Structure 1
Amino acid sequence: MVKYEVSVTTANLAQATTMNNVFIKLVGTDGESKRTWLTSLKGTAAFYLGAESKFSVSCPTSLGKLVLIEVDKKPLPLFPEDSWFPSKVEIKSPEGDTYRFPIYRWISDSEVKLFREGTALRVFEDSHHLGKYSREKELNLREKQYCWDVYAEGIPHCIKVDNPLDLPSEVRFSFTKTTEFLFTASTGLTELKLKGLSDCKQNWTDIDAISRVFCCKRTGISDYVQKHWRDDAFFGYQFLNGVNPLMIRRCSVLPKNFPVTDDMVFLRGSRSLADEMQTGNIFLCDYNRLDGVKTSVINGKKQYLMAPLVLLHQTPDDKLMPIAIQLKQKPADDNPIFFPTDSEYDWLLAKIFVRSAEFSEHQLNVHLLRTHLLAEVFSVSLLRNLPMVHPLYKLLVPHTRYTLQINYLARLLLIAKDGVFTKFAASGGEGMFTILKRSLSSLTYSSLCIPDDIAERGLESVPNFYYRDDGLRLWDIIHRFVQGVLGHYYKSDAEVQQDSELQKWIQDIFVHGFLSQASTGIPQSFGTVAELVKFVTMVIFTGSGQHSAVNTGQYDYGGWMPNTPISLQRAPPTTKGSSSESTMLQTFPDVNTTVQGMSTMWLLSKQSSDFVALGQYPEEHFSEEIPRKVIKDFQGELEVLSAVVKARNQSLDVPYTYMVEVENSVAI
């Protein structure tokens, strides 16, 4: 007889314990063990949360190289069946070899589960018949668990579920996350001390009234926003380092529908507009995706959403100053171009309409589509097409954490018929889907890759652009990490081309995420290692750094409503000289609309206590030394980036932290 030493670790998660009997079978190249009941002196405590328990499995002869294990559990008589979350099993063979089996999933029934030995294997090198069988069985099950669905025509597809409990248990929120999220969602208005205002459908009477509401919950940046929201310099700054740094681009030729001339604008430095464009000091933000969008009706009143064009000038002292704003796309007598030289409230109202347009562009295109919906597509395709033993699964599965459930909740609570966004945003309802469709049809692969995007927008040398500086550093760090891991497994382009599972993954993304639109530039297959590495870098960056950049600061920049109105209920001025503070207050959203927006942005900006930072991998999916070393190097580089950013921020009035305080996945 020979003995195998079996070590089973139960995850340190709430409700991970099982009181059921646990059984294991070892399967190797030369045979298999009997199904063995795992018993020890610990008794039922052997599988408590956080416990590591050791057992012996005896066999008449050696099983050869271990290929997989079969695990199942059965309840004791009169005891209910429970759920168990084992993290890993380690087995030491009689020959002295150690085999690691990553599990990291809930086992909630009595069915036998198969788990592969942890060494990553691509489909064309998985030669043992038992390995092939388990691989095929796993993917057949996953295709049934993770089905595609069409939420609305013209936008990326999503996972098909009717409620969160329909999601496979391994992708659901933890008990901790569920409790915190539901509490924050249900008490947001109370936590902000706004409960008594949620039904008030009146206009704001003065700015002080908004201040009294806002004082309940503030951040360092939100305080700065309240003090400086009227300032032109801060208005310009937000295009670089606010929650939507993707709109601005260098302007070398004015659009024909934006007829600004030299005699209209004042440029510090006394140069002409043409000269400044030639020098690279003129920038444009064009919200044409919002043109003609049907707006919602809130509190019985029609809402207004403009599609502005904004011209900005980089001054000699490196400030980005707005110099002209046109609120509608088509030039007309009743569509004046506004300038800083206009009356105080004409100019301020023009900026307010821009900031309100910015809210819809940011929430629907930059935040929802370009991070949440794409991350869901990347995740569903991964879970459908790649088994746990595949190296890309091991690399990417930590970056799918909570994404499917948070997106389901977004569809349920935010953009459904009775969702907060639908009921309280100017672009809610029909307009929302118009914007999403337009956004997807104009989305490009290069715009998802920050080095390409910055170059295409001509922003390589713009000063004080911290999103760019930190984002490019983070992209490079992620790229080196991905190169290190995937380069270990794919030594040639031919191996990439040969991996049919990998090709199915990208094909599913192209079809279900980008609706087979070749114009996006999204690859339909991978031909080289370099193509694979770049795409996977984009996937990780999108779900971590990019999501953080466009999500984490929502309350910072939007908590003070006048800086980011989620809706406006009065049309913009068609002539100059008639606007006043009273006009502005009548234009702002009603009290209940304001506080619903504040509460939602507070929820979406709030970090969970079980936050997992980028680079931290509590689940050890890789067994081999090289990828484990690459992970350590990745963590070290992220620590250096954090220190560099922290040192830089000490000298800034408005610190930029959104690319270092980053979660591993789209989890909020």
Structure 2
Amino acid sequence: MVNYTVTVATGDLAFATTLHNVYIKLVGTDGESTRTWYKPLKLSIIRGAVSSVTVSCPDSIGKLVLIEIDKQHHTLLFFENSWFPAKVEVRSPEGDTYNFPIYRWITDNEVHRFREGTALRIFEDDHHLGRYSREQELKQRGEDYCWDVYLEGIPHCMRSEGPRDLPEEVQFSFTKTKEFVLTAATGLAELKLKELSDSTDNWHDMDAIDRVFSCKRTDISEYVQEHWKEDAFFGYQFLNGINPMLIQRCSVLPNNFPVSDDMVSLGGPHSLADEMEKGNIFLCDYKRLDGLKTNIINGMKQYLMAPLVLLHKTPDDQLMPIAIQLKQTPADDNPIFFPTDSEYDWLTAKIFVRSADFNEHELNVHLLRTHLLAEVFAVSLLRNLPMVHPLYKLLVPHTRYTLQINNLARSFLISKTGVFTKFAASGGKGVKTLLKRSLSSVTYRSLCIPDDIADRGLEDVPKFYYRDDGLKLWDIIHRYVQGVLSFYYKNDTEVQKDPELQKWISDIFEHGFLSHAGTGIPESFTTVAELVKFVTMVIFTCSGQHSAVNTGQFDYAGWMPNNPLTLQRPPPTTKGTTSEATMLKTLPAINATVQIMSTVWLLSRQSTDSVPLGEYPEEHFSQTNPCDLIKNFQRALRELTEAINARNKSLDVPYTYLDPKVLENSVDI
């Protein structure tokens, strides 16, 4: 007889304990063990516990290929009971150690097969039982994770009836569920705004808005309240606010934006042409919003403009707005506003820009470009790559909670009764139109920050912290991904002959980008370099990019006048007709204000079980090389955190949204 020591670690999660009988079978290249009753304690396998059992065989069963685990109802119990095994380690009589990552809820009494932790592509998985378990796993995944169409013309999603219909492996933890539900249910009360949530009145003065805002503040939101009227802060937000994705260097004025030298002041004998040639003129164009059907809120038509904004980089490196046109077509009733106009003409123009920016941000920059694409990446991964595949091991931590948070977003934010649908200017039919327009503008280069920054001409703009931190983060992720994938794919031919990998990217091209070749998204991979870049983009999108456009929502939108999601009056068609009174009538009604405040408060909060970028509590890799690369990755991320902290000490407004210590592995909020 030979003995195998089997050590089982149960996950340290709420309700991970099972009171049922657990059985384990070892399967090797030369045979298999008998099905062995795993009984470390009399009645239970305890949450967080690590315990061992001996499995005896008449002879060695060779190199271990997989284990089989099943959980059977205990005869003394009258209820079903789930179990969450984290991993199994097996010590063979030859002295070898085999690791089996699991990290799954086992809820039924079926036999579940788990592969040894060494990553294998399909063409090197040469054992018949290994190949069979691989095929069965993907067959089951294909049934569990089905594509669905939520809206025609936007990325596809996972089919499910609701959060509880999702497979347990992708649902929120008990802790995440409890905290999310509590915050969502009590958000208005926590902000002390519940009594205002049904009021359709307008704000009568700025002090009333201030009293509401005072219920919950952050350091940055306080700064926003104090400086939101200032031109320098208005310009700053295009670089380091929650939407740094629209601004671009302007070398030629658009034909529909007839600004001339005699209209603007550039602080000296400089012409627009000179300043454009020097690279000092910048443009934000909200043309995607043009003609969008706007919402009806409290029985009133809402207003959303499609502005053009011209900005000038001054000699002291401030980005100052110099001209604003609120509609796309020049006309007598569409004046161009300037800083030299009256206080409220200029402020009102900036408010319409901030409202346009917030709508563009929420639907395009935030929802589409991070949440919806992250879901596509996740569903394709889960459908097409088995747990033993190296790319699954690399990417699965970056899918955590994404499917459930998106399910909730469709149910409670953009559904017919969702907060966004009810209280945003672009809610209702506008959501569909803007999402379709936005997807048509998404290119592969725009998702890769080095390419995007270059294409927008922003390589040397000073005080652009999103760019500075983002490029460093991209480089760190790229080096990590390159190290891992180059270890498994030694040459381009190995990439080309991996059908599971090719199906993953094929599904992303079809279901995420609707087979539009013009996006530049690859339909297949032919080189290791192509694969490395795409996977880098996936991880950056799910972690850093999402944090950059999500985490600061309450910081910048908590003070509503800085980022109103809707406006109740049209913009002025003649200069000199605005005042504080007209501005207050233009701002959102009280109920729209507090509902959006509560929502961005919820969406800006991390749960206590969040996992920072680069931390991998689930150990999917077992080979030395990728484990060493993870340590190097973590070290580089810590160094970036230190550099960001040192830089932020000298800033009036610290930029923290791309600090690896505070951003998460995945789109989970």
Which TM-score bucket, shorter chain as reference? over 0.9
Who is 2:633 aligned against?
634
Give the structure-2-normalised TM-score: 0.99
Give the conservation status (yes or no) of the 8 Å contact 1:155–1:437: yes
Who is 2:2 aligned against?
2
Who is 1:662 aligned against?
663
Q: Aligned with 1:323: secondary structure?
A: strand
Q: Aligned with 2:254: secondary structure?
A: coil
Shift of 1:78: 3.9
Separation in structure 1 between the aligned mates of residue 486 and residue 647 of structure 2, nearest angstrom: 33
Shift of 1:269: 3.3
Who is 1:518 aligned against?
517
Q: Aligned with 2:348: secondary structure?
A: helix
Q: Deviations over 1:219-256 (max 9, x none)?
A: 00000000000000000000000000000000000000
Who is 1:371 aligned against?
370
Q: How does 1:333-482 map to 2 (within 5 A)?
A: 333-482=332-481
**Match for 2:546: what amino acid?**
H
For structure 1, the residue ranges without an aligned partner over 5 or more in a row are: none
> Is 1:121 aligned with 2:120?
yes
Separation in structure 2 between the aligned mates of residue 577 and residue 485 of structure 1, nearest angstrom: 62
Q: Deviations over 1:605-660 (max 9, x none)?
A: 01100010000000000010000000000000000000000000000000000001
Give the conservation status (yes or no) of the 8 Å contact 1:74–1:81: no
Give the conservation status (yes or no) of the 8 Å contact 1:67–1:131: yes
Who is 1:216 aligned against?
215
Shift of 1:306: 0.2
Who is 1:187 aligned against?
186
**Match for 1:34: what amino acid?**
T
Separation in structure 2 between the aligned mates of residue 651 and residue 242 of structure 1, nearest angstrom: 18
Shift of 1:333: 0.5
Separation in structure 2 between the aligned mates of residue 512 and residue 534 of structure 1, nearest angstrom: 20
Separation in structure 1 between the aligned mates of residue 525 and residue 468 of structure 2, nearest angstrom: 29
Who is 2:96 aligned against?
97
Who is 1:151 aligned against?
150
Q: How does 1:219-368 map to 2 (within 5 A)?
A: 219-368=218-367
Q: Aligned with 1:433: secondary structure?
A: helix
| From 46, 62, 65, the counterpart of 1:64 | 62
**Match for 1:236: what amino acid?**
G
**Match for 1:72: what amino acid?**
D
Who is 2:12 aligned against?
12
Shift of 1:92: 0.4
Q: Aligned with 2:415: secondary structure?
A: coil
**Match for 1:86: what amino acid?**
P
Who is 2:80 aligned against?
81
**Match for 1:483: what amino acid?**
Q
Q: How does 1:43-58 map to 2 (within 5 A)?
A: 43-45=42-44, 47-58=45-56
Q: Aligned with 2:462: secondary structure?
A: coil
Separation in structure 2 between the aligned mates of residue 647 and residue 384 of structure 1, nearest angstrom: 43
Q: Deviations over 1:369-426 (max 9, x none)?
A: 0000000000000000000000000000000000000000000000000000000000
**Match for 2:63: what amino acid?**
K
Q: Aligned with 1:3: secondary structure?
A: strand
Separation in structure 1 between the aligned mates of residue 535 and residue 212 of structure 2, nearest angstrom: 44
Separation in structure 2 between the aligned mates of residue 275 and residue 531 of structure 1, nearest angstrom: 40
Separation in structure 2 between the aligned mates of residue 131 and residue 259 of structure 1, nearest angstrom: 67
Separation in structure 2 between the aligned mates of residue 43 and residue 649 of structure 1, nearest angstrom: 56
Separation in structure 2 between the aligned mates of residue 607 and residue 76 of structure 1, nearest angstrom: 39
Who is 2:592 aligned against?
593
**Match for 1:517: what amino acid?**
H
Give the structure-1-normalised TM-score: 0.99
Give the conservation status (yes or no) of the 8 Å contact 1:251–1:282: yes
Who is 2:21 aligned against?
21
**Match for 1:76: what amino acid?**
H
Q: List structure 1 segments (4+ residues) > 4 angstroms apart after TM superposition.
A: none
Who is 1:132 aligned against?
131
Shift of 1:81: 1.9
Separation in structure 1 between the aligned mates of residue 615 and residue 334 of structure 2, nearest angstrom: 52
Give the conservation status (yes or no) of the 8 Å contact 1:315–1:321: yes
Shift of 1:597: 0.6
Shift of 1:165: 1.4
Who is 1:109 aligned against?
108
Shift of 1:53: 0.6
Separation in structure 1 between the aligned mates of residue 84 and residue 43 of structure 2, nearest angstrom: 15
Q: How does 1:499-538 map to 2 (within 5 A)?
A: 499-538=498-537
Shift of 1:275: 0.2
Separation in structure 1 between the aligned mates of residue 441 and residue 52 of structure 2, nearest angstrom: 56
Separation in structure 1 between the aligned mates of residue 286 and residue 586 of structure 2, nearest angstrom: 20
Separation in structure 2 between the aligned mates of residue 317 and residue 100 of structure 1, nearest angstrom: 58
Q: Aligned with 2:43: secondary structure?
A: helix
**Match for 1:17: what amino acid?**
T
Shift of 1:355: 0.3
Shift of 1:360: 0.6
Separation in structure 2 between the aligned mates of residue 39 and residue 264 of structure 1, nearest angstrom: 83
Who is 1:30 aligned against?
30
Shift of 1:455: 0.3
> Is 1:484 aligned with 2:483?
yes
Shift of 1:287: 0.2
Who is 2:168 aligned against?
169
Q: Aligned with 1:55: secondary structure?
A: strand
Give the conservation status (yes or no) of the 8 Å contact 1:309–1:325: yes
Give the conservation status (yes or no) of the 8 Å contact 1:269–1:316: no
Q: Percent identity?
A: 74
Q: Deviations over 1:521-573 (max 9, x none)?
A: 00000000000000000000000000000000000000000000010000000
Separation in structure 1 between the aligned mates of residue 495 and residue 256 of structure 2, nearest angstrom: 47
Separation in structure 2 between the aligned mates of residue 102 and residue 269 of structure 1, nearest angstrom: 66
**Match for 1:663: what amino acid?**
E
**Match for 2:10: what amino acid?**
T
**Match for 1:59: what amino acid?**
C
- Two-structure CA RMSD over aligned residues (Å): 0.5
Separation in structure 1 between the aligned mates of residue 26 and residue 123 of structure 2, nearest angstrom: 24
For structure 2, the residue ranges without an aligned partner over 5 or more in a row are: none
Shift of 1:163: 1.2
Q: Aligned with 2:523: secondary structure?
A: coil
Separation in structure 1 between the aligned mates of residue 529 and residue 100 of structure 2, nearest angstrom: 30
Separation in structure 1 between the aligned mates of residue 530 and residue 409 of structure 2, nearest angstrom: 32
Shift of 1:44: 2.5
Q: Aligned with 2:7: secondary structure?
A: strand
**Match for 1:3: what amino acid?**
N
Separation in structure 2 between the aligned mates of residue 166 and residue 225 of structure 1, nearest angstrom: 41
Q: Aligned with 1:557: secondary structure?
A: helix
Separation in structure 2 between the aligned mates of residue 570 and residue 485 of structure 1, nearest angstrom: 55
Separation in structure 2 between the aligned mates of residue 231 and residue 406 of structure 1, nearest angstrom: 36
Shift of 1:62: 0.4
Separation in structure 2 between the aligned mates of residue 18 and residue 654 of structure 1, nearest angstrom: 49
Shift of 1:171: 0.2
Separation in structure 2 between the aligned mates of residue 282 and residue 601 of structure 1, nearest angstrom: 32
Q: Aligned with 1:44: secondary structure?
A: coil
**Match for 1:612: what amino acid?**
V
Q: How does 1:553-572 map to 2 (within 5 A)?
A: 553-572=552-571
Give the conservation status (yes or no) of the 8 Å contact 1:268–1:316: no
Shift of 1:83: 0.6
Separation in structure 2 between the aligned mates of residue 140 and residue 206 of structure 1, nearest angstrom: 61
**Match for 1:553: what amino acid?**
G
Separation in structure 1 between the aligned mates of residue 580 and residue 196 of structure 2, nearest angstrom: 22
Q: Deviations over 1:76-98 (max 9, x none)?
A: 11412211000000000010000
